[in-house]
A and B are shown apart, each in its own frame.
Chain A
Amino acid sequence: MPLKPLDYLSLWFGLIGMTGCGSVQDKPGLEDVRAFVHSREITPVQWNRGTEDDRAVEIKLQAMLQDGLTADEAVQIALLNNRDLQSTYESLRIAQADLVQAGMLKNPVFDGSLRFVSSGAGQIVDLGIALDFLDILFIPLRKHIAEDQFENTKLQVAAQVMDLAGRVKITFFKLQAAEKILDIHRQLLTSSEASYDLSRRLRSAGNITLLQTARHQADLEEAKLALNAAEIEVITLHEELNVLMGFYGPAGNWKTNQPLPDLPDTDIPPETLESKALEQSLDLKIARRHIELSAKRLGVTKPLGLVSEIETGVTAEKEADGQWSVGPTLAVPVPIFSQGQPAVAKAESALYQALNHYYSQAVQTRSTVRYLYAHLQMVRNRAQHLKNVILPLQKLILDESQTHYNAMQLSAFDLLKARNDELLTQRRYVEALRDYWIVRSQLEQTLRGRVPQTDLPTVHPFSLPVSSSNGGH
């Protein structure tokens, strides 16, 4: 007995039912991102979508601003408040939506026509429903690919979180250093003012020439310019942090509440740094996924190249005489003109690209670790030398100069110059200390899995080409 029309329909809807539906979640993947990032000591991860959570975040932010910011607080604020990061979180939802979409069958196409017989004897109704048969077969594969994509997106979002945290930390160190340097320049200005003051008094007593006074004044004016530059540096870094933390208006008037920390007693131990970096590397994880994805796509593309869709359906027709006829339909493209070789070639190349990218990323990761570690030792040595040898020496020179001044062998100008030399050495120490913390931060970031920007050559940025994993629609 041929199947009744209704049987076909129910069979067909049954098939649809088999595939199951997913729904797009509210904050998909956030927990995974949070867990990933937390394992690398970065918190908090908060995705604001206009809920009560956001209010709690606001209150927390206000509390942190009260007594000045520490470096960690600045990182937390940026992770909570940076809108760029928030928009990055949305890509999680987008990817998850893709995942849901991948699990869905393409909607069947319903077409219907109504023809009126010219003789007026009735209407011919033509109904058809067709769906892509291969779609059903490819759903698991598509879901698999979309899942990979979603995982990849989570990794990339985690990478963005880590990058932001790293950048905030480094900018904060720079700000702390710039504030200390500003203070040093204020003292240098006071010193120049004192020199000039003394020279004016000497001039008014008739004891030195206008030429000598003018030279002292020139020094004073240069000191003012140097102070000016130091002030601009602080303002610039302050605003950089405002951008990263998402502050404007009165909220942007925060102060730092601690100076740059001293050199720590112990440093990152050198053992197994490279292997740790490789293990933790987000960049390599992402690159590995790219390879897997490319391979899978290649696997899918080859057969898809030949036959990208097979349409099956049911068609029903009502003749003019009122008779319904129902039956199946099948549509198959015949691969005469195209066996899909270009698509395959593309997919193949994409795979090789992913392989090479992985390799070069690994090279860069290892090299960055070695470079940063060596650089860290050098900067530590420099900071220690300045602090333990050169600064005490400058202090000795100043103290001895004071005794020679007391014995009237040196002038007050010589004494002020000794003090200026000490202040300039302090400045060099602050810069070395800042550089230490920046390089250390970069090394820690590399060991957490994200290669920061350094002077080393960068790897070409890479992302998988947008795939036509399943035809149009």
Chain B
Amino acid sequence: MWKTLITRRGALAGGIALAGGAFLGRPDQASAATSDSHPHSWGGSGAAGANPDPDPTPVPPGQPGQDYTPTLTPNGSTLPYRLVDGIKVMHLIAEEVEHEFAPGLKGRCWGYNGQVHGPTIEVVQGDRVRIYVTNRLPAPTTVHWHGLIIPSGMDGVGGISQRAIQPGETFKYEFTIRQHGTFMYHSHHDEMTQIAMGLMGMFIVHPRNVPPEDRPDRDFVLLSSEWKITPGTYRPDPNEMTDFNVLTFNARAFPGTDPLVCKLGDKVRIRLGNLSMMSHHSIHLHGYHFHITQTDGGPIPESARWPETTVIVPTGSTRTIQFIADNPGDWAMHCHMLHHVMNQMGHGLPNVLGVNPDGLDEKMRQLLPNYMTMGQTGMADMGPMGMAVPPNSISMIGAQGPKDYITMGGMFTILKVREELPDGQVSDPGWYQDPANTQAQPATEEELRRDSINPKR
């Protein structure tokens, strides 16, 4: 009934491959190890946790490029490691960080190693990791390894697994990775405050022995979170429970999000994590159907994979999607909870939509020389207005796009698929040039006449 997860020995043997992505058309190899052939089997993490001692003959640590396509964390980085006796040694420093969410909005947050969110930890199934955590915060903290099957005392829950790491102290976490997939790490001490302040990061484990042709060409990591930053203030408010106004991918709000860049035909994997305080996110990708291939519980058997254009990522979960980028263009990727794609909106205002302001502004300007009625036709014109606003705020700000103003913000980024892309380029290739006749344009008189369309009807 209980199936052990792959042991190092098993991994060496190479017989059982917990392949990561089953791309379109590839036979599934993922289900073999984690589930019984019996349809009503129970999952199980095995007795891995009960065996904390390292194997006498450890698996050689996996190497980027050689054993896996390294992931890309837009606006972020990957945590480097040093090899000590075959063990990947890493150092996380929890500290205060002045972080930019988007040009014009900075906040005093808590992060790891000088960045918010913390750098992505990337290892290979079978690796043994030793992670030192130094606490330079003013408060005690811990690190929990979300989704990882490890000894109870390494789990990082303050009070249960360990005592909290006091400010100034350095703790050592050490465990062997016995699975692969998309996981996360975050503080598990006073989470309401510390996660609201940004103490989180992604933890990626690649399967062992995946043939290069089965590896993704592009492997992106996006961690969602939400913040309350009142315009004109400089620090997120961790006491907020419902009225979040800054929504981010990798702690960046559009137009601060770097695009996801790939070449036409690439095998693309996008790992979505969500550690938002209170919200789930329906992440929608334009231009593609994808399959949801993994959760933080492990790979989804191919026959059970769900096709989608929108994947809902509950808070405290990861969802990994895969597709082949066979549709060139600039494709919006964003949370479809639409308040999550607007920066720092105010929610206490009267509804001004539909109000006729004629004559009102003149009267108001007798008392308030800089007054202008706003919002009577919605928010589309707010961005480029250039009015005096509180410092350090980006209310309703979007970005100038190639064809018009982009009225989006928050949890919004762009997948840019190009036919021509220099090898290995991950940086922004500029805007997509639409081929002729593939762009929505104003209808000409001729066309209207030809098709008997009367716009005045």
Contacts and interface: CB of A to CB of B under 8 A. Distances in A.
B353 A205 contact: yes
Contact of B368 (A207, A404, A419): A419
Nearest to A188: B367
Contact of A206 (B344, B354, B360, B374): B354
A402 interface: yes
Nearest to A402: B370
Given A205-B355, A412-B373, A415-B368, A407 B396 contact: yes
Interface stretch (A192-200, A298-306, A329-337): A192-200
Interface string B369-398: 011011100010010010111100101100
A201 B355 contact: yes
Nearest to A207: B351
Interface in A386-445: 398, 400, 402-413, 415-416, 419
Given A190-B366, A190-B367, A194-B363, A408 B355 contact: no
Q: Is the interface of B mostly helix, strand, loop or mixed?
A: loop
B364 A412 contact: yes
Contact of A202 (B348, B351, B374, B389): B351
A426 to B, nearest CB: 12
Q: Is the interface of A mostly helix, strand, loop or mixed?
A: helix
B107 interface: no
25 contacts: A187-B366, A187-B367, A190-B366, A198-B355, A201-B360, A202-B350, A202-B355, A207-B351, A207-B355, A208-B350, A402-B370, A402-B371, A403-B388, A404-B346, A405-B371, A406-B385, A407-B346, A407-B393, A409-B231, A409-B344, A409-B346, A409-B348, A409-B349, A411-B349, A416-B364
A410 B346 contact: yes
B75 to A, nearest CB: 24
Contacts of A412: 364, 371, 373
A412 B353 CA distance: 14
Nearest to A404: B390
A201 B376 CA distance: 11
Specify which of B230, B355, B363 lies most central, judged by the most chain A CB atoms within 10 Å of its CB: B355
Contacts of B352: 202, 207
Contacts of B393: 407
A402 B363 CA distance: 16
Contacts of B364: 194, 412, 416
Given A187-B367, A194-B367, A407-B395, A201 B390 contact: no
Interface in A319-366: none
B307 interface: no
A407 B389 contact: yes
B360 A207 contact: no
Given A205-B353, A207-B353, A407-B395, A198 B348 contact: no
A191 interface: yes
Interface of A: 187, 190-191, 193-194, 197-198, 201-202, 204-208, 398, 400, 402-413, 415-416, 419
Contacts of A187: 366-367
Nearest to A416: B367
Given A408-B395, A412-B364, 16 more contacts: A201-B356, A202-B355, A205-B356, A207-B351, A207-B355, A208-B351, A398-B368, A402-B388, A403-B389, A403-B390, A404-B346, A408-B345, A408-B382, A410-B348, A411-B350, A412-B371
B253 to A, nearest CB: 15
Contacts of B395: 407-409
A407 B231 contact: yes
A400 B393 CA distance: 13
Specify which of B232, B348, B364 lies most central, judged by the most chain A CB atoms within 10 Å of its CB: B364
A193 B346 contact: no
A461 to B, nearest CB: 52
Given A404-B231, A407-B231, A419-B368, A197 B353 contact: no
A152 B22 CA distance: 119
Contact of A205 (B354, B366, B370): B354
Nearest to B373: A412
Contacts of A407: 231, 344, 346, 389-390, 393, 395-396
B351 to A, nearest CB: 4
B85 to A, nearest CB: 56
B357 interface: yes
Interface string B27-59: 000000000000000000000000000000000
Given A407-B231, A407-B396, A409-B231, A207 B354 contact: yes
A415 B371 contact: yes
B280 to A, nearest CB: 26
The 8 closest A-B pairs by CB, nearest first: A407-B395, A205-B354, A409-B346, A406-B387, A207-B351, A407-B389, A201-B355, A205-B355
A409 to B, nearest CB: 4
Nearest to A423: B367
B1 to A, nearest CB: 58
Given A198-B360, A205-B356, A406 B368 contact: no
B360 A194 contact: yes
A198 B367 CA distance: 14
A15 to B, nearest CB: 88
Contacts of B349: 408-411
A243 B379 CA distance: 62
A406 B393 CA distance: 11
A413 B352 CA distance: 12
Nearest to B369: A402
B358 to A, nearest CB: 9
B160 to A, nearest CB: 41
Contacts of A405: 371
Interface string B214-258: 000000000000000011100000000000000000000000000
A93 B395 CA distance: 83
A201 B346 CA distance: 21
B299 to A, nearest CB: 45
A205 B358 CA distance: 13
Contacts of B385: 406
B169 to A, nearest CB: 41
Nearest to A419: B367
A384 B333 CA distance: 59
Specify which of B351, B367, B382, B385 lies most central, judged by the most chain A CB atoms within 10 Å of its CB: B367
A404 B375 CA distance: 14
A416 B382 CA distance: 21
Contact of B350 (A204, A207, A416): A207
A205 B356 CA distance: 8
A413 B346 contact: no
A187 B367 CA distance: 7
Nearest to A401: B368
B375 A408 contact: yes
Contacts of A402: 368, 370-371, 388
